[in-house]
Structure 1
Amino acid sequence: MIKKLVASLAALAMIFGLAACAGSGKTEVKVGWIPSVNFIAWISAVQALEESENIDIELVEFSSSSAALVALQQGAVDMTTTGYNVFADGLAQSDMPLSYISGISTSGAFFIARDDAEIEDWSDLEGKVLGGSRGSAEYLHMNNSMAANGVVLGEDAEYLNFQNGTDVMLALRNGDIDATVSYEPLISETIAAGGVDVVPALQEDLYSASFEVSSGLLASDSFVAENPEAVDEILSVYTGKVDELQQDPQPAVDIYLSYAAGDRDVISAAADRVTLTYELPTDEMLAIGTALTESGQHSEDIGPKLATHLDYSHLEAATGKSASELGASE
C-alpha cells in the first residue's frame, strides 16, 4: 500500500527512521512529488506501481523542489520530481551524486495578465506593475523574455517580489499587479475566478530567451546503481503513462485529486494545458545555464555541468529509444 507522507524539513528525521519492508522480497523505493498538475503522469505511475510484485513504493509529498532536493541529498527519498533550475542552483554551490533519469514536464509556464490592464504586446508592459518570485523559473522566463523584447523589468516596468506563486496570483486577482508568469494549477484557478487570461503574443515568445523544460525525475546515483531492475520497472510504467496521457490527460484528473486538493473543473482545465514528456534534451540544460547567467543569478555558466547529470540508460531500456532520440547531443 502506498503510504502518503507530507514531508517538511522538520519531519525528515522521521522519514529516515522508516524501515524497509522486512521479508517481503520487494525493493523498497521512496519517491517524492510536489502537488502540481505537471506531475499527473508521475502520480498515475506511482499509483499503478502499488500493484507491483517487485517494488514496495512509498510516496513522500513536498511543498517545493527545493525541499525535495534537500530530502534527496540526505537520503530521505530515492528519487523525486525536481525543477531543473533548482538543481542547477544547487550544482552551482557543489556537485551532487544525483542524476535526472527521465523528463517530467515542459513548457509549463504561462504569461497571464489582468483584462483591465489591456496588455496585448510587449510594449504594453511599459509602465505596468509585474510580480513574481525572484529566482524561480517563472521569474527567469518573465525577466529574460521581457529584456529580449526591449522591456527591462524593474526599469520600464515596476516589479514586486513575493514569497511564492500563490501570493503572486493573489496579488494579480486583487489588482496589486497587472501581469505575471505562473504555472498550473494556479493559472487555471485564477482564470476561473475571472478578469485575467493568458496573453497569446507574450506566451508565444515566453521561452525565446530562457528554456522550455520545467522538471524531471531526479534520482540518487547510488540507488540507481544498486537497484537497476527497480528503476527499469518504474520508468517502464512511467513512460507508458506519459505516452497514454499525452493523447488524453483527463483520465489522470481523478487520480491527481486522490492525492491533492483542488476543484475538478480547474484541475481538468489545467491538465489540458500541461505538456508531458520523458525526454531529457541536452540543449535545454545548456539553455538553463545561459538563462541563469544572463539574468545575473549565476556568475558562471552551469549548463555544461548540468548536462553531465543526465542518465539516459534506463530511459533507453524503458522506451526502446536511443539516447539521441531522447534528447542527448554531443
Structure 2
Amino acid sequence: MPTRSLLYKAAFILSIALPAIGHAQASSSIKLGYAKCAHCTPMALTPEYASGVNVEAIGFNTGNDVLTALVSKSIDVAQVTYLHYATALDRGFDLVAISGQINGGSQTLIGNALPVKENDWEGLKKVIADYKKEGKPFRVAASRGNAQDLHMRGSLAAHGIMVDKDVQFVNIPNPSDHVQALRRGEVELVTSVEPFATQIRQANAAKFFAFPYDQAAGRLTNLVVTRSDVIAEKPQAVQETVRAIVKVDERISADKPLWIATIQKYTGLDKAIASDAVENLSPDYKIHRASAVAIARMMFDLKYITKDVSAAVEKNMDYRYLEAATGKPKTELGY
C-alpha cells in the first residue's frame, strides 16, 4: 500500500500536470470561420487535411459575420476577403494575413426587361440616364462589405458610373436573398457572389451583364487572417492550419467533383448551379501584396474606408506559414 506521503506527492504532481495538459490541448486547436459561398465552403474540408492540430470549421452566413467573430475572439482564424482585411485595419483591428484561398466568384447581373446587352456599358449608362430623366432611382444591389461589393463599385467607377451619385445603392446583407430581390423588382442590377450569381441566372431572375474584374482588385477575393495573439499563443497550430488550407486548395484544383459536392452540401443548391459556379473560381493560396495595396488605395479613393491603410496592409502580411507549407520563398507566393 502506498504511504500517505506518496499519495500527497502524486496528487501534487498531478495538480501541476493537468493545467499543462489543458494548455497543450488548447494550443493545438483552432476555431476556423468561413462564409457560405462557393469559394468559401472548401474551408469546411480543412479539418480533414489538418495534421497535428484540431481544426473546428464553423460556417457563417456572410464574411462580415466571420470578421466580427474573429475580432471578438470567438474564433482564431478567419476566411474573409481582401476588402474585409483593409476595412478592419482602417478600424484599428488587429489582423494578420497568413494565406490566400480562392479568387473570382463575382458576376454583375441585370434585369431581364432592361435593353442592355452583355458588356454594353454605354447601353447601361443610357438606361441609367433615362431613369434619371424620369425621376426614378436606378437601384444597384450588393452585400456591403463583401468582395463583390468592392468589385462592383470599382468596375462601375472605371466606366464612369458612381454609386453615390448616378445610382441608388441597396444593401442586401445575405447574398442568398439577391435572387428574390430581382424577382420582386426591388433592384435593377446586382453584383452577386457564387453560387448565388449562377443561381440567379439559372432561375432566369436576371441576365448576365459582366464579370466585374476590370478594377484594381481584379479577381482577388478571399484571404485567410488571424490575430497577433493567436500567432503568439498557437504558432504551430496556425502553421498546420495554413498547411491544411494549401492541401485543400491543391485537392479541389484536381478534384472538381469534390468541390461541387462541397458547395452543394453547405449551400443546399443543386449540382447544376454548383458545377457552373466553380468555372468562375480559381484556387489560389498566395497572398498578393501589390494588388492588396492597390485594393486599399481604391477603397480609400471610393471613400469605402476613412484613411489610406496601404502601408498597414503590407506590414500585416506574414508569409512564414505559406513558406513553410509550400517550401517556396515569399517572392513566389505573391510578395
User: Aligning the two structures, in what range does the TM-score lie when normalised by the shorter sequence?
Assistant: 0.7 to 0.9
After TM superposition, the structure 1 = structure 2 runs for residues 114-133 of structure 1, keeping only pairs within 5 Å, are 114-120=111-117, 121-126=120-125, 127-128=127-128, 129-132=138-141, 133=143
| One-letter amino acid of the counterpart of residue 46, structure 1 | P
**Does 2:110 align with 1:100?**
no
Match among 183, 187, 191 for residue 181 of structure 1: 191
Shift of 1:122: 0.7
Aligned equivalent of 2:7: none
**Does 2:262 align with 1:289?**
no
Whole-angstrom distance in 1 between the partners of 2:225 and 2:99: 8
1:151–1:23 distance in 2 versus 1, CA, 3 Å: closer
TM-score, with normalisation over the residues of structure 1?
A: 0.81
1:75–1:299 distance in 2 versus 1, CA, 3 Å: closer
**Does 2:56 align with 1:58?**
yes
Match among 144, 148, 163 for residue 158 of structure 2: 148
| One-letter amino acid of the counterpart of residue 28, structure 1 | S
Shift of 1:44: 2.0
1:154–1:170 distance in 2 versus 1, CA, 3 Å: farther
Shift of 1:302: 1.5
1:91–1:171 distance in 2 versus 1, CA, 3 Å: same
Decide whether the 8 Å contact of 2:217 with 2:292 is kept in 1.
no
* Unmatched segments (≥5 aa) in structure 2: 1-19, 129-137
Aligned equivalent of 2:248: 241
Aligned equivalent of 2:5: none
- Choose 226-235 or 99-108, whichever is displaced more: 226-235
* Unmatched segments (≥5 aa) in structure 1: 1-19
- Any runs of at least 4 consecutive aligned residues in structure 1 with deviations exceeding 6 A, and if so which? none
1:100–1:118 distance in 2 versus 1, CA, 3 Å: same
Whole-angstrom distance in 2 between the partners of 1:25 and 1:268: 39
SS of match in other structure, 1:81 = strand
**Does 2:34 align with 1:42?**
no
Whole-angstrom distance in 2 between the partners of 1:208 and 1:160: 19
Whole-angstrom distance in 2 between the partners of 1:125 and 1:85: 26
Decide whether the 8 Å contact of 1:242 with 1:277 is kept in 2.
yes
Q: Determine what percentage of the aligned residue pairs are the same residue.
A: 23
**Does 2:31 align with 1:30?**
yes
Shift of 1:210: 4.2
| One-letter amino acid of the counterpart of residue 163, structure 1 | I
| 1:288-329 deviation digits (Å, cap 9, x = unpaired) | 21221121222421122112111100101111111011111x
Whole-angstrom distance in 2 between the partners of 1:242 and 1:232: 16
Match among 55, 65, 68 for residue 66 of structure 2: 68
Aligned equivalent of 1:113: 110
Whole-angstrom distance in 1 between the partners of 2:223 and 2:69: 16
TM-score, with normalisation over the residues of structure 2?
A: 0.80
Shift of 1:160: 4.2
| 1:114-161 deviation digits (Å, cap 9, x = unpaired) | 3432323111112343422455432332233222223334554x3241
Aligned-residue RMSD, C-alpha: 2.7
Decide whether the 8 Å contact of 1:185 with 1:270 is kept in 2.
yes
Match among 221, 224, 228 for residue 221 of structure 1: 228
Shift of 1:191: 1.2
Whole-angstrom distance in 1 between the partners of 2:90 and 2:68: 15
Whole-angstrom distance in 2 between the partners of 1:210 and 1:302: 15
1:62–1:214 distance in 2 versus 1, CA, 3 Å: same
Whole-angstrom distance in 1 between the partners of 2:184 and 2:292: 36
When the two structures are aligned, how many residues end up with a matched partner?
A: 302
Whole-angstrom distance in 1 between the partners of 2:205 and 2:178: 15
| One-letter amino acid of the counterpart of residue 213, structure 1 | L
More helix by share: 2
Aligned equivalent of 1:161: 170
- Choose 115-124 or 271-280, whichever is displaced more: 115-124
**Does 2:79 align with 1:81?**
yes
Whole-angstrom distance in 1 between the partners of 2:178 and 2:205: 15
Question: Radius of gyration: which is bigger?
Answer: 2
SS of match in other structure, 2:214 = coil
Whole-angstrom distance in 2 between the partners of 1:106 and 1:99: 19
